[in-house]
A = this chain, B = another copy of it.
Amino acid sequence: MNRPTRRPGGRSADVRRRVLDAVVAQLVDHGYDALSIDTVAAGCGVHRTTVYRRWRDVGGLLADVLAEAAADDWRPPDTGTLDGDLAALNREVFAALTGDPPITTALIAASFRSTRAAEALRAFWADRYDRCAVIVARAAGRSEIPAGTDARRLLVAATAPLYHELVLLRAGPDAGLADRTAADTAVAARAGAFAATVVSPDEHHGDDRR
């Protein structure tokens, strides 16, 4: 993600730590609107030009923060039922999207200004959805849903309404939203929705970007 540091020793690493910490601190304390290269640099004693050179813009900073956040050991919830798993997952998404300070929303906003932030966020979500595929596999293993159910399609159906309502439609946070959407999706899956169209036994996620 970040430019390969040819000299990763003490100083450069220290600068990176201080800058990224300052980004999060700034985000938490003063919100996204107050986030700029200058405020971050001033907030951690690193010079403006250094930050500009290494991260280029605010999107670059958030992309780096996101790249760090993506390398965690998060695993999807395992409650024993599809309904339970989706509901628990959706509650996490809901919490992230309505949390204060709105870090997730800030990252989404940044992704519209910086292609680097956009790519980092895309990669982050791709990884998360891949990890969540086991939820669908487990449900199929328990014969809750038909075999051959398209995991990604089901997971997007379960989570997309949350993003849509909270981020794009900007509806007020409705406490039941996460659970309702999860339940609707589970009903759909049991009724045979999200059936993978037969292409070939070994599915490859061919992702052509325009």
Secondary structure at chain A's binding surface: helix, strand, loop or mixed?
helix
A10 near B: Cβ within 8 Å? no
- Please tell me if the beta carbons of A169 and B208 are within 8 angstroms of each other in the complex: no
A55 near B: Cβ within 8 Å? no
Q: With the chains together, A199 CA to B179 CA distance in Å?
A: 14
Min C-beta distance of A133 to chain B, whole Å: 15
- Please tell me if the beta carbons of B156 and A157 are within 8 angstroms of each other in the complex: no
Q: With the chains together, A118 CA to B173 CA distance in Å?
A: 16
Interface residues of A in 84-141 (CB under 8 A from B): 91, 94-95, 98-100, 108-109, 111-113, 118, 121-122, 125-126
Contact with B along A178-210 (1 / 0, CB 8 A): 011101110110111110010100001111111
Q: Which of A17-25, A34-42, A65-73, A160-168 contacts B (4 or more CB under 8 A)?
A: A160-168
Contacts of A193 in B (CB 8 A): 183-185, 187-188
Interface residues of A (CB under 8 A from B): 91, 94-95, 98-100, 108-109, 111-113, 118, 121-122, 125-126, 153, 156-157, 159-161, 163-165, 167-173, 175-176, 179-181, 183-185, 187-188, 190-194, 197, 199, 204-210
